[in-house]
Amino acid sequence: MLWRDEIFETNRMIEQNKLDVRTITMGISLRDCVDPDLKAFCQKIYDKITRCAKDLVAVGVAIETEYGVPVINKRVSVTPIALVAEGCKTDTLVPVAETMDRAARDLGINFIGGFSALVDKGETRGDTRLIASIPEALARTESVCASVNVGTTKSGLNMDAIRQMGETIKRTAALTADRGAIGCAKLVVFTNAVQDNPFMAGAFHGVGEGECVVNVGVSGPGVVKRALESVQGAPFDTVAETIKRTAFKVTRVGQLVAQEASKRLGVSMGIVDLSLAPTSAIGDSVAHILEEMGLERCGAPGTTAALALLNDAVKKGGLMAAQHVGGLSGAFIPVSEDAGMIDAVACGCLSLEKLEAMTCVCSVGLDMIAVPGTTSAATLSAILADEAAIGMINNKTTAVRLIPVPGKKVGDDVEFGGLLGHCPVMAVNTFGAEAFVARGGRIPAPVRSLTN
Amino acid sequence: MKIVVTIIGQDRIGIVAKISTALAEAEVNIMDINQNIMNGFFNMVMIADMQRATLPLDALQKKLADVGRALGVDVKIQHEDIFNAMHRI
């Protein structure tokens, strides 16, 4: 029989510490939708997405009601469009994005991911066409998310694609300038992209995946912070142990929800993503966990070590709690979506360079960072290359979401709305990298031994 | 299906009676009750069986929420499995 304290503990996590299921994401294969006629292709993908996910929102709501745990987002990811639209006779893939957007709207979901290309080694004509379509696609849709994988540890970095992506980010910002360059908040540049990520904007349904799966992302930075409040001043052994125990409990909820959702939707259960995903709400911040460990502000010396401990302990705690673990599984550090990060930037404690260092030890990378609108495409590409190199060498996923906001300068605040939050524009090193980025070609795959 | 009913709020006469009556009306069988008063605050956890329930869970949640509102207490009903998942291996 359950103990009363256990019941109150669970409900306190949900009600006071913002434990929630961040997303139930249905991954849908579009490989059977291939058609040379663009109109027919769009009709097929609309039909398939809306057929597979027709009950997704209702099931999410039912699970939330039954278990009393909020299921914040219901989303869909699809096979990278560059692959399935390769044979379409068309100059632009914008109509495909518009079709995805319409499907998302009709389903009542807030994001659909997979307007994506995997170009870590080279580009086909279909990849080039997709990348060229991204700015307009993101400007003309609400819920479509795009991503491009520009490198892997096994293949090295595609510097031509990285150059293109700097330019694509700039064009996307220009086309959505009237909305704080929000298009860039839905565009991720990956290295070592994963196939089963449930989190947006980088979710797509990988080519190694089955017909249809359910992946779940659970989150609870507030729960971890609350747990650490009870071990103030204790040595790091205790800190790590406390985080592990908390992550285990949080992940068990994710496992339960993933199991139930897959059963009710009649599709296989994919993975539980162990990420700690913050929101800009008070009490839901990864930065505040780091500060709870004894840092005056996130970004102070010690931040990278604190984050390394947090990221590792979350994984260790979560691994045993879930049947299959996957996705990104680590702490996210998106600036605009984390109240503590926003404050740390605003007070001058957290710089782009410190964030880059932090990405060496945690999930993902330079995420949701607003930079001055004057930042050049070459500088953006060079930042992408730096982050991609971290991913490539460390055999980890890195993702970059940079938002060069037209007309904004360092210190200005940009509001993205909803889950995407707001943030102060961060300073970027203004020394140039034009000649570096102009070289193009590929940075070779790294040696995997002699790893000092 | 077993449910966990948690009731929290300012103490007053009749909370247990009214909540229990509402459950009985819906043919929900109470299996365990744990209740106390701390600093004037009423805390109660019930574990109940819905096998013969005449209402689906969402309707029961609404019925009990209405009863709770009239009493000035928060009533929450959840499937037992979320607690088992978190606290039992």
Element spanning A127, H or E: helix A125-140
Out of A8, A66, A252, the one facing B86 most closely (by C-beta) is: A252
Quote the minimal CA–CA distance from B4 to chain A in Å: 8
In this predicted structure, what is the pLDDT of residue A97?
98
Q: Do A4 and B34 touch (CB under 8 A)?
A: yes
Of A4, A68, A256, the CB nearest to B76: A68
Q: CA nearest A143: which of A195, A71, A76? A: A76
Selecting from B6, B34, B85 the residue whose C-beta is nearest the C-beta of A256 gives: B85
In order of A144, A157, A256, A375, the CA distances from A387 in angstroms are 24, 11, 35, 17
Interface residue A125 vs chain B (CB under 8 A): no
**The pLDDT value given to residue A161:** 98
Q: If pLDDT is split at 50, 70 and 90, which confidence band does B39 have?
A: confident
Nearest residue to A114 via CA among A132, A129, A134, A128: A134
Q: Residue A201, preceding bond cis, omega within 30 degrees?
A: yes
B76 at A interface, C-beta within 8 A: yes
Q: Indicate yes or no: CB of A253 within 8 angstroms of CB of B85.
A: yes
CB atoms near residue B20 (< 10 Å)? 16
Q: Most A CBs within 10 Å: which of B3, B82, B88, B89, as the mutation test of the A interface?
A: B82
The CATH class that applies to domain A216-440 reads alpha beta
Partners of residue A255 in chain B, C-beta under 8 Å = 85
The three-point CA angle A190-A195-A201 to 5° equals: 50
Tokens of B78: 């959840």
Q: Give pLDDT, residue B89.
A: 86
Average pLDDT, chain B: 95
* Listed residue (A157, A95, A185, A219) closest to A417, CA to CA: A185
Q: Which of B32, B61, B76 sits opposite A1 (nearest CB)?
A: B32
3-state SS assignment for residue A219: strand
Which of A8, A10, A66 has the CB atom closest to B86's CB atom? A10
Nearest CA in chain B to A68: B78
Secondary structure element (H or E) that encloses residue A27, with its range: strand A20-28
In a mutational test of the A interface, the residue from B83, B86, B87, B89 whose CB has the highest number of chain A CBs within 10 Å is: B86
Across the interface, whether the CB atoms of B82 and A69 are under 8 A apart is answered yes
pLDDT (0 to 100) of residue A1: 73
| CB contact set of A234 (below 8 Å; sequence gap of 6+) | none
CB pairs under 8 A between A and B: 57
Q: Which whole-number Å values give the CA distances from B20 to A399, B4, B25, B44, in the listed order?
A: 53, 13, 9, 12
CA distances from residue A209 to A29, A71, A273, A401, B36 in whole angstroms, order as listed: 8, 24, 16, 25, 51
Q: Nearest C-alpha of chain B: how many angstroms from A10? A: 7
For residue B62, name the pLDDT band (cuts at 50, 70, 90). very high
How far is B9 from B13, CA to CA, in rounded Å? Answer: 12
Residue ranges, comma separated, of all CATH 3.20.70.20 domains in chain A are 22-191, 216-440
Longest dimension (CA), chain A: 68
Could you tell me the domains of chain B? Answer: 2-69 (3.30.70.260)
ipTM here? 0.91
Contacts of A8 in chain B (CB under 8 A): 6, 43, 45
Residue A8 touches chain B, beta carbons under 8 Å: yes
CA atoms within 13 A on the CB side of A343: 15
Cα separation, A298 vs A333, in Å, equals 11
By the CB < 8 Å criterion, does A4 face chain B?
A: yes
For range B63-67, the mean pLDDT: 96
A272 touches chain B (CB under 8 A): no
Chain A hits for B6, CB-CB cut-off 8 Å, are: 7-8, 11
Residues of chain A scoring pLDDT < 50: none
The class (CATH top level) of A22-191 is alpha beta
Q: Is A68 on the interface with B (CB under 8 A)?
A: yes
Interface check A216 vs B, CB under 8 A: no
